[in-house]
Structure 1
Amino acid sequence: MIQGTTTLPPVHVRRLGAGTRNALALHCTIAHSGAWSGVAAALDGQAKLTAPDMLSHGRSPDWDGRGDFFDRTTAISLAQLTEPMDVIGHSFGAMVALRLAILHPELVRSAVLIEPVFFAVARQDAPEISANHDADSQPYKTALAEGDTSRAARLFNRMWGTSDGSPRWPDLPERTRASMIRGMDVVGAVEGPLFQDSVGMLAPHAMVQASMPILLLRGAESHPIMMVVNSGLQSRLPNASQGVIEGAGHMLPISHPRETAARITEFWRD
């Protein structure tokens, strides 16, 4: 159950692409809905994407700190599902997409989960890889704990944004850096669901609810934990398959939009 979401704040929603399929596209943390522009263009008239900006991201208002951010984001995303739709999510957005598939399978026709950051899967399945990831994450977590969101954003971007040749922090426009810094408090607010599965999504009775076709997509050059997460989710979900984008890292919807769209097209066709 999603708690404390009776009154939802207004968020900015972007409409991208054109086509007969209606799809909900959920971006990653410290990005915004425009991150789907390349994928929408590469889908070449197959689908209309409804892409909301999370609170504290893009053109949406800041999160006021009330309630649970995962609950808030799930409820805001659910409000966009006005009919059964295909859902595409990236990183934390993929976590929201998976939760929608579990809680509201009647509204999720299919789901594409791109590098879902469900680290609790790796804690169960591969503790050593999970421990390595925790060590790699510690620098940005320390910066967050010290209240230095600028340093935290730089370190977070270094960990997840540069393995596929994405621009490094000094090369990013000031406006982009400011946008990333703005969203960093959210990263610390969702550790419970991501690392400890605090909402119980891994329970067998929950996983079985997401019986629609699901594609788990990752970049070949991403952090090793993502292979563990995707494989673990495939083994737990009733109707899931995997795909890999060669040469891509965690940010594959942005760095490799054509390849990402091609895998989505193939998945929809099947």
Structure 2
Amino acid sequence: MEERIASLHQGALSYLYREGKGPTLILLHGAGHRAAHLLPLAEALPGREIVIPDARGRGRSAGRPAENLQARGEEVRELIDVLGLEKIVVSGHSLGGALALEIGLFKLPFVRGLILIATGARLRVHPAIIEAVRAGGPSNLPFSPYSPEFPESERLRFAALEESVPTESALSDWTVANAFDRMSAIASIDVPARVIVGSADRMTPPKYSEYLASKMPQAELSLIEGAGHMLPMERPADVAEVMERFLSDRLADPRGA
């Protein structure tokens, strides 16, 4: 994928882009992550047009990240406008999934669907995670967000990416996640939605996804057996298969447009 820079109201925002068939997939990364964390998933979706923004405060995205998801969502909307995208599906992992929900609440006509990966309508962050991030990064987390089967070499590769995110930016992400609560609002999101979760997810356990699927009028749930919280990195092919099925079955345009 190609790294590009968009000039937005708050300054330069970097994103990864690949041309392909629509609808355009906007992939939103999780707390303390970067766009590159979602490259395995993008690679498992060949032929799709994909945009993966780097949140502010990391990579080449200038400035500090906003301290609430509504403001972060407004910036994603501005990016969509600047890029001239007309038919999109917003997908997010963890905090990125919460951001996708926030964008869903904007009721934008060009948002045709949501794909929510390992997330919830409310996110509560264990204090030990906040302290671990403050202490210097993912190696200090009290437990691994990955399933036991995920290779150590791959964990280290993604940990290196996380360590490239400034502590201040990662702390902002986790603080925003801890404050997120849209449990009473999500029933108003009436677009097709696919909710995906791993059966071994300890950070956003399956009950979070079950709640989403039960409250959103057009949502359906997919459980990936044995997977942990880091679904896009652990099981990108399985996640991509669910996404492709959703795009084909729920969002196919009978006119071929």
Shift of 1:90: 0.6
Unpaired runs of 5+ residues, structure 2, are: 1-7, 250-257
Shift of 1:49: 0.6
Shift of 1:170: 9.2
SS in 2 for 1:49: strand
* 1:181/1:140 CA distance change after superposition, 3 Å: farther
2:18 to 16, 19, 30: 16
Q: Which residue of 2 aligns with 1:216?
A: 195
Residue identity opposite 2:77 in structure 1? L
Checking the alignment, whether the CA contact within 8 Å between 1:89 and 1:95 is kept in structure 2 is yes
The alignment's C-alpha RMSD in Å is 2.9
Q: Stretches of 4+ moved more than 6 A in 1?
A: none
Q: Which residue of 2 aligns with 1:49?
A: 50
Q: Which residue of 2 aligns with 1:269?
A: 248
Checking the alignment, whether the CA contact within 8 Å between 1:26 and 1:51 is kept in structure 2 is yes
SS in 2 for 1:235: helix
Instruction: Work out the CA distance in 2 between the residues paired with 1:44 and 1:28.
Output: 22
* 1:259/1:172 CA distance change after superposition, 3 Å: closer
Which digits, 9 at most, give the CA deviation of each residue in 1:155-209, with x for residues without a partner?
3484424545253899458853522453422234314533xx2xxx322xx3243
Q: Which residue of 2 aligns with 1:68?
A: 67
Instruction: Work out the CA distance in 2 between the residues paired with 1:157 and 1:91.
Output: 18
* 1:61/1:168 CA distance change after superposition, 3 Å: farther
Flag the structure with higher strand content: 2
Instruction: Work out the CA distance in 2 between the residues paired with 1:189 and 1:109.
Output: 29
Q: How does 1:132-151 map to 2 (within 5 A)?
A: 137-143=126-132, 148-150=134-136
* 1:80/1:104 CA distance change after superposition, 3 Å: farther
Q: TM-score, structure 2 length as denominator? A: 0.79
2:161 to 161, 173, 176: 176
Residue identity opposite 2:179 in structure 1? P
* 1:233/1:174 CA distance change after superposition, 3 Å: closer
> Structure 1 residue 90 and structure 2 residue 76: aligned?
no
Which digits, 9 at most, give the CA deviation of each residue in 1:111-170, with x for residues without a partner?
1000114445xxxxxxxxx8xxx6xx23223446xxx430x5333484424545253899
Identity of aligned residues (%): 20
Flag the structure with higher helix content: 1
Q: Which residue of 2 aligns with 1:126?
A: none
Q: Which residue of 2 aligns with 1:230?
A: 209
2:183 to 202, 212, 233: 202
> Structure 1 residue 104 and structure 2 residue 90: aligned?
no
Instruction: Work out the CA distance in 1 between the residues paired with 2:157 and 2:24.
Output: 33
Q: Which residue of 2 aligns with 1:186?
A: 172
* 1:171/1:24 CA distance change after superposition, 3 Å: closer
Residue identity opposite 2:183 in structure 1? L
Checking the alignment, whether the CA contact within 8 Å between 1:83 and 1:107 is kept in structure 2 is yes
Checking the alignment, whether the CA contact within 8 Å between 2:22 and 2:88 is kept in structure 1 is no
Kindly tell me the number of residue pairs found equivalent between the two proteins.
237
SS in 2 for 1:54: coil
Instruction: Work out the CA distance in 1 between the residues paired with 2:130 and 2:31.
Output: 15
Shift of 1:78: 1.3
Checking the alignment, whether the CA contact within 8 Å between 1:94 and 1:116 is kept in structure 2 is yes
Q: Which residue of 2 aligns with 1:124?
A: none
Unpaired runs of 5+ residues, structure 1, are: 1-5, 121-129
* Deviates further, 7-16 or 254-263: 7-16
* 1:93/1:12 CA distance change after superposition, 3 Å: same
Residue identity opposite 1:251 in structure 2? M
Instruction: Work out the CA distance in 1 between the residues paired with 2:122 and 2:186.
Output: 16
Checking the alignment, whether the CA contact within 8 Å between 2:194 and 2:219 is kept in structure 1 is yes
